[in-house]
Amino acid sequence: MVKGQVVAITGASSGIGKATALELARLGAKLMLGARHEEALLQVAEEIRAAGGEAVYRITDVSRREDLLKLVHLAQETFGQLDVLFSNAGAMPIGPFDELAVDDWETMVDVNIKGVLFGIAAALPVFRQQGSGHFIHTASTAARKTVPNQVVYSATKAAVLALSDGLRQELAGQIRVSTILPGFTDTAFSEHVKNPEMKAQMQKAGEKFAMSPETVARAVVYILEQPEGVNIGEVTLRSKAQA
C-alpha cells in the first residue's frame, strides 16, 4: 500500500522522479524530494501540496555522501520514518571513447553508481533500525544492451543492477530491494547530452520510441503495492516500438 508511506526520491526535480513523486503523492505517500535545482524541486513540492498531498524537499547532490545522509535525516525528522528510498538521479553525458571525455566518465560513475551507494549507506542503518524498508533503484535497458557511444553509461547502469541484486540477497527477510529498467522515456535526459551528434541521435530515437515518465511511475507504484511478503526484483519496461 502506498498510502502513508514515506518515500524519498532523488532526481525528483524532473522526468521520471518528478512523475513518480506526483503519482505517489496522489496515492497518499509522503514525499521527501531531492535534486540539485531548488526552483524545480520547489515547484514539484508546491504542485503536490496544492493537490492536498505532503512533500518537503532538500537540495541534494547525490555525488556527495553527506547530502544523502541529510536527505534521509530530514525525511525522518519531518515524517518520523523512512519507508522507501528511490535512488533515481542519473547522468548521461554520453559520447565515443575516442573523445576521452574522462570528466564525463567520472560524472556518470559519481552520479549513477556512487549516488546509489551513498543512498544505501544513508538509508540502510535506518531501515535496519526500523526492521523494514525498501530500496528502489533506477537502472536502464542500457544495463542489458550495450550500445556503442553509450558504453560508460551502460556500464554504470549494469553496476546498479549488480549491486541491487546482491543487496537484495544480503537484506532478504527484512528489507526489499527493487530495480526498474526503463527504455527510452520522454524526459529532459537527452537535453543534457553534450556531443551534438549523440544528442541529435538520442532525440530522434526518443521521438520514435519514448514512453511517458508517468508509465515508469506506474511501475514504481506496482513495485510498492505488493503484499509485505513480496519483493519485486526487477521491472523492465520499454515502449512497444523499441527493440
- Positions marked active-site: 153
> Which residue from 53, 66, 65, 153 is spatially nearest to 115, judged by alpha carbons?
65
Q: Does 199 bind ligand NAP (CB under 6 A)?
A: no
Using CB under 6 A as the criterion, what x/- string covers residues 42-81 for binding ligand NAP?
------------------xxxx------------------
Could you tell me if residue 80 is left (phi over 0), alpha (psi between -120 and 50 degrees) or otherwise beta? left
Minimum gap (Å) between residue 183 Cβ and ligand NAP: 6
For ligand NAP, which residue of 5, 140, 150, 154 counts as binding (CB under 6 A)?
140
Helix boundaries (H) for the chain: 15-26, 38-50, 65-79, 102-108, 115-130, 151-171, 196-209, 213-224
Question: C-alpha grid cell for residue 241?
Answer: 516500438
Minimum gap (Å) between residue 132 Cβ and ligand NAP: 25
For ligand NAP, which residue of 5, 20, 88, 150 counts as binding (CB under 6 A)?
88
Instruction: Decide whether 129 or 197 has the Cβ nearer to ligand NAP.
Output: 197
CB 234 within 8 A of CB 223: no
Q: Does 109 bind ligand NAP (CB under 6 A)?
A: no
Instruction: Decide whether 17 or 53 has the Cβ nearer to ligand NAP.
Output: 17
Minimum gap (Å) between residue 15 Cβ and ligand NAP: 2
Could you tell me if residue 205 is left (phi over 0), alpha (psi between -120 and 50 degrees) or otherwise beta? alpha
For ligand NAP, which residue of 37, 128, 204, 208 counts as binding (CB under 6 A)?
37
Neighbours of 17 (CB within 10 A): 29
CA dihedral 108, 177, 163, 74 (to 10 degrees): 50
Q: Does 85 bind ligand NAP (CB under 6 A)?
A: no
CB 153 within 8 A of CB 142: yes
Residues that bind ligand NAP in the complex, under the rule CB under 6 A: 10-11, 13-17, 35-37, 40, 60-63, 88-92, 111, 138, 140, 182, 184-185, 187-189, 192, 213
